[in-house]
Amino acid sequence: MKKIFITGASSGLGAALAMEFANETIILGLLSRRVEVVQQVSKEFTGQVYCYGADVGDPVKVRNAAESFMESVGVPDIVIANAGISAGTDTSLVEDQGVFERIMRTNVLGMVHTFQPFLSAMSQRGSGSLVGISSIAGFRGIPGSGAYSASKAAATSYLESLRVELSLSGINVLTVCPGYIRTPMTDVNGFVMPFLMNAVFEALALIKAINKKKRFHVVPWQMAVIGFLLRLLPRALYDFLFRRAPRKPRV
């Protein structure tokens, strides 16, 4: 049976992935800060499900959950580091320093904490897939979302480093850069979100990318084009176009 471990599984893309993967041929390990939500939803799943409550920013709790999962069912075939948070930030405000730290800890270090407990066992076996959810927001710095953009740029670079490091190990590393997905995290945005997707559509596309052992995946394709063009924009033109762009609300 295939074994899959997913973080951030209580809502959004993580929950959609769990629902799409859930069947008699797959054993799921689902980790979330809101473990009671995952436990309630997983009652409807037909396959085996192991639920764990932890914040991915806490390496000890994540490691304990990972080790518990492996002791119960063995080394996973796929590990998906999906947990992430977002908020508008303003560097000039001292109260936003804690927000910066939480976003970086969750979106970057949380990915490291998720992969680390599984790496040795997966390398010894010589197979498996590590999937990290980054974002197109990491392609350029988005005004008003400095912490989120920085965290996703860091996540993308980290995943690329990891992919090369593991290129001879038999482990595939997939970097996922979605555009806008309809989730509680984007529901607070008060601006138009082009090519807004539902989480189920993204989950299905992501599963295809995992099965194809892709190394980099942007969805939808329109956002891949936009991301490519954004990276080509000269700095002066980018500054001019985005300095008045609507900003994500601060929490």
pLDDT score at 213: 95
Active site residue 148: yes
Q: Please tell me the predicted confidence (pLDDT) of residue 195.
A: 59
Could you tell me which of 243, 242, 217, 214 has the C-alpha nearest to residue 230?
242
Core vs surface per residue 201-240: b (16+ CB within 10 A) or e: ebbebbbebbeeebebbbbbeebbebbeebeeeeeeeeee
pLDDT of residue 191: 55
Residue-wise burial string across 117-128, b where 16 or more C-beta atoms lie within 10 A, e elsewhere: bbbeebbeeeeb
pLDDT digits over 167-189, tens only? 999 999 999 998 766 666 565 56
Query: pLDDT at position 126, please?
Result: 97
Q: Which of 148, 158, 180, 238 is catalytic?
A: 148
Cα 132 to Cα 108: distance, rounded to the nearest angstrom = 10
pLDDT, residue 228, reads: 85
pLDDT in tens, 77-104: 999 999 999 888 989 999 999 999 999 9
Q: Is pLDDT larger for residue 200 or for residue 53?
A: 53
**pLDDT for position 190:** 54
pLDDT tens for each residue of 112-167: 999 999 999 999 999 999 999 999 889 988 898 999 999 999 999 999 999 999 99
What is the average per-residue pLDDT within 59-69?
98
pLDDT digits (tens, 9 = 90+) for 195-229: 567 778 888 989 999 999 999 999 877 777 888 88
Residue corresponding to tokens 């063009």? 229
- Cβ distance 179 to 194 under 8 Å? yes
Please tell me whether residue 172 adopts helix, strand or coil conformation: strand
* 13 vs 160: which has the higher pLDDT: 160
pLDDT at 146: 92
SS3 at position 159 = helix
pTM for this one? 0.90
Ordered alpha helix ranges (H), 173-220: 184-187, 199-211
Residue 68 tokens, joined: 């518990």
3-state secondary structure of 201: helix
Q: What is the pLDDT of residue 201?
A: 81
| Per-residue pLDDT, 230 | 84
Least confident range of 25-29, 38-42, 219-223: 219-223
Question: Phi and psi dihedrals of 164, rounded to 5?
Answer: -70, -40
User: What does the pLDDT read at residue 220?
Assistant: 76
Which residues touch 50 (CB under 8 Å, ≥6 apart)? 27, 28, 29, 30, 68, 69, 72, 73
pLDDT at 238: 85
Residue with tokens 């000269």: 234
Q: Give just the sign of the alpha carbon dihedral 213, 215, 219, 224.
A: negative
Q: Residues 6 or more apart from 29 whose CB is under 8 A from it?
A: 3, 4, 5, 6, 49, 50, 52, 65, 66, 69, 73, 76
